[in-house]
């Protein structure tokens, strides 16, 4: 049984930041990741290569992208060494003031002021740069901005991509030669199936790379099944091989950082709270305050064979439609048309009958265009995904239970805190924007069938569930990410985000992790 100063569970934004900063402070660090380690050449060429793109190990799929279907939300999230950075859209904006001033956490710290230097560090470490190439989809969105009188609120994205000469390899341009060689972006659009070029600034190219170089041990294909307090102090971490091959392993550590994201950290904490030999004194608030970016996803499909929306980075521009909402054009690379199997006409309605009726009506009004849309030669080239987000709050809770979505096995289930503020599949402004876009390009607007059939919204930005509070009565962790009731336990990932940033959250998770690590003393020094 190996002992470490710190075990970090998960290698995403929170875990990778924690690993690097702890190694720099002299700690012996182990990072445990349930997914695989991927080199650029290991990523799939398209998302039809399900074995290397999608994560369903029970079906032999060991890729970087996972879909979790819950009762009130469908969650899109990442797996692998580098966590969500492998599959996310590398878009790194800073939230607006309402996020920092949200009542859910504003009493705990002066968040905007305290996080400002950590955002700067995060931007430097992640290599944030302004996207230099706007596409056809961006120009369409700009024209919509002009119609809405919001042209000044349209701009290119800030992204974590190396924009050197396309496909030209150069020495490390970010860390004074301590980092890996990099290759210039060729704008192929494959950011979300895994960057085979090597231009995307994934965590294995920065934080995690430097952490390993500094001595951190990263063990992949290993899933944490339990974390238990030891009588003699510290914690016991039990693991199993992710794919059922090999033996279970046990580690011990003085400290543990939970960094598996909402879909990893929250169910693990819920299970340990129920286990009398686990962490039974965890706050009863575990699983509360789960939120999304109040997103709506739509896809505009264009029958025109000459249309090509696949070039560019994953997200190339942003239009702020009002003070709390914005929309972004999103893309997959040519050939990555897997989602054509999961779309239905975009429609509104509070009941299944009304939504299906609306979908049928849309097809009946223009059956030839819909037929062409469903049979386009290259779905990714001939479609533009539109991602709409809002800062408005709406939360749900996660618990362990049984329902049809878990196959009646014990698993993660959700319940609504306030049905009137629940995440919504049908947001009127998002519907209108998608229809405007479709009209301009001669296409049709569609969405995931889970939204049309079930009325269940989708999110790539699940947050909360281990939120902050002054005490265990109102939060799982304190403002320094320390778990109430357990010295040496921390939650540093998206589940610790205690308000809705309303924008792609990776930069914010990184900045919060940097701040949390700033409070940890160097090894051998007392806690301040």
> Catalytic amino acids?
461
Phi, psi of 162 (to 5 degrees): -90, 110
- Measured CA to CA, the distance from residue 283 to residue 285 in angstroms comes to 5
- Measured CA to CA, the distance from residue 102 to residue 104 in angstroms comes to 5
Quick check: 267 and 398 in contact, CB under 8 A?
Answer: yes
Residue 39 half-sphere exposure toward CB, CA atoms < 13 A: 2
Put residue 336 in one of left, alpha, beta given phi > 0 → left and psi -120 to 50 → alpha. beta
Q: Quick one: how many helices (H) and strands (E) in the chain?
A: 12, 26
Among residues 517, 510, 516, 490, the alpha carbon closest in space to that of 203 is found at 510
Q: Angle at CA 116, nearest 5°, toward 76 and 509?
A: 20
Please name the residue ranges forming H helices in 185-274: 207-213, 262-274
Phi, psi of 282 (to 5 degrees): -60, 150
Q: What's the residue count for the chain?
A: 528
Phi, psi of 444 (to 5 degrees): -125, 150
- Measured CA to CA, the distance from residue 336 to residue 44 in angstroms comes to 10
Quick check: 507 and 122 in contact, CB under 8 A?
Answer: yes
Tokens of 105: 């956490």
Phi, psi of 500 (to 5 degrees): -90, 110
- With a CB cutoff of 8 Å and minimum separation 6, the contacts of 93 are 157, 158, 318, 503, 504, 507
- The helix/strand/coil state of 263 is helix
DSSP classification of residue 126: T
Please name the residue ranges forming H helices in 101-135: 111-125
Q: Which contiguous run of DSSP H or E holds residue 29?
A: strand 29-32
- Measured CA to CA, the distance from residue 30 to residue 212 in angstroms comes to 10
Put residue 80 in one of left, alpha, beta given phi > 0 → left and psi -120 to 50 → alpha. left
Quick check: 445 and 343 in contact, CB under 8 A?
Answer: no
Within 10 Å of residue 449's Cβ, how many Cβ atoms?
14
């Amino acid at each position: 049984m190996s002992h470490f100063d710190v075990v970090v569970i998960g290698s995403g934004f929170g875990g990778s930041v924690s690993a690097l900063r702890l190694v720099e402070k002299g700690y012996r660090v182990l990072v445990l990741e349930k997914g695989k380690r991927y080199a650029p050449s290991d990523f799939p060429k398209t998302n039809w290569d399900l074995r290397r793109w999608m994560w369903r190990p029970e079906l032999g799929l060991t890729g970087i992208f996972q879909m979790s279907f819950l009762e009130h939300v469908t969650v899109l999230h990442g797996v692998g060494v580098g966590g969500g950075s492998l599959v996310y859209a590398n878009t790194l904006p800073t939230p607006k003031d309402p996020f920092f001033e949200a009542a859910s956490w504003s009493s705990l710290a002066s968040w905007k002021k305290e996080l400002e230097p950590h955002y700067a560090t995060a931007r430097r470490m992640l290599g944030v740069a302004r996207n230099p190439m706007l596409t056809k989809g961006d120009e369409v969105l700009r024209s919509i901005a002009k119609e809405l009188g919001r042209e000044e609120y349209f701009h290119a994205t800030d992204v974590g991509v190396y924009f050197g000469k396309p496909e030209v390899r150069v020495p490390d341009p970010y860390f004074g030669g301590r980092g890996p060689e990099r290759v210039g972006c060729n704008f192929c659009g494959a950011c979300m199936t895994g960057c085979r070029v090597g231009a995307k600034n994934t965590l294995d190219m920065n934080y995690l790379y430097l952490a390993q170089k500094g001595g951190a041990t990263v063990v992949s294909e290993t899933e944490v099944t339990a974390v238990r307090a030891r009588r003699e102090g510290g914690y016991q971490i039990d693991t199993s091989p992710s794919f059922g091959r090999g033996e279970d392993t046990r580690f011990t550590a003085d400290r543990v950082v939970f960094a598996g994201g909402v879909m990893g950290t929250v169910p693990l904490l819920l299970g340990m709270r129920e286990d009398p030999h686990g962490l039974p004194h965890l706050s009863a608030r575990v699983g509360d305050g789960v939120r999304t970016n109040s997103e709506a996803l739509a896809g505009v499909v264009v029958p025109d064979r000459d249309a090509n929306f696949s070039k560019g980075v994953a997200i190339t521009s942003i239009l702020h439609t009002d003070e709390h909402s914005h929309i972004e054009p999103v893309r997959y690379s040519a050939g990555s048309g897997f989602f054509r199997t999961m779309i239905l006409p975009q429609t509104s309605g509070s009941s299944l009958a009304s939504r299906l009726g609306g979908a049928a009506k849309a097809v009946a009004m223009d059956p030839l265009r819909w037929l062409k849309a469903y049979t386009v030669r290259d779905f990714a080239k001939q479609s533009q995904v539109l991602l709409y987000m809002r800062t408005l709050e709406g939360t749900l809770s996660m618990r362990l239970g049984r329902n049809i979505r878990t196959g009646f096995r014990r698993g993660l289930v959700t319940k609504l805190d306030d049905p009137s503020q629940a995440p919504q599949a049908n947001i009127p402004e998002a519907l209108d924007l998608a229809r405007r876009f479709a009209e301009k390009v001669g296409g049709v607007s569609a969405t995931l069938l889970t939204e049309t059939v079930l009325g269940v919204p989708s999110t790539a930005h699940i947050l909360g569930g281990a939120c902050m509070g002054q005490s265990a009565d109102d939060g799982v962790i304190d403002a320094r990410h320390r778990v109430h009731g357990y010295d040496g336990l921390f939650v540093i990932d998206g589940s610790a985000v205690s308000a809705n940033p309303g924008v792609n959250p990776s930069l914010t998770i990184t900045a919060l992790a940097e701040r949390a690590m700033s409070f940890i003393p160097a090894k051998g020094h007392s806690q301040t």
